[in-house]
Amino acid sequence: MRSRIRRIRSIAGSVVLVGCFVVVIGRASLVSPPAPSRSATPAERQRIAQDLLEAERQWRAAAKRRFPGDLWSQDDDFHRVEQYRARRIAGRLKISLTDVLRAIDEGLRARPQGRRVTASPCKPRPFYD
């Protein structure tokens, strides 16, 4: 009797699992791709680069306060904020994230003076929270 109940439970579980796979595959095959985003104009890319350049000093100072003495984590935190802002700009202007990142790259190449464009070496943290 117990083996029969186990067998029924096993079959029921398998039916539920297969049903879930069918639903997921069906829904995934019916989804339409997102609409392609427009390309940013050179003037938009220049304005984006300028806006992010103006905010960079503040972001780096905030990262330095959050992670004193840990350059790797400071860079990581700075780029987290930069990525977040880049995604918001792309969504607001309805342009691709690639164009926003291209604007950042063009801005770095146009005005590298006084900006950190290197990677910090990975070292163990001086403290752990």
- Determine the Cα–Cα distance for residues 83 and 54; give it in Å rounded to an integer: 15
What is the pLDDT, as a whole number, of residue 19?
A: 94
What is the pLDDT, as a whole number, of residue 37?
A: 84
What is the pLDDT, as a whole number, of residue 129?
A: 57
What are the residue ranges in the chain where pLDDT is below 50?
A: none
What is the pLDDT, as a whole number, of residue 125?
A: 59
Q: Are 46 and 35 in contact (CB under 8 A)?
A: no
- Determine the Cα–Cα distance for residues 123 and 101; give it in Å rounded to an integer: 27
| CA angle, 67 then 73 then 76, to 5° | 130
What is the pLDDT, as a whole number, of residue 109?
A: 85
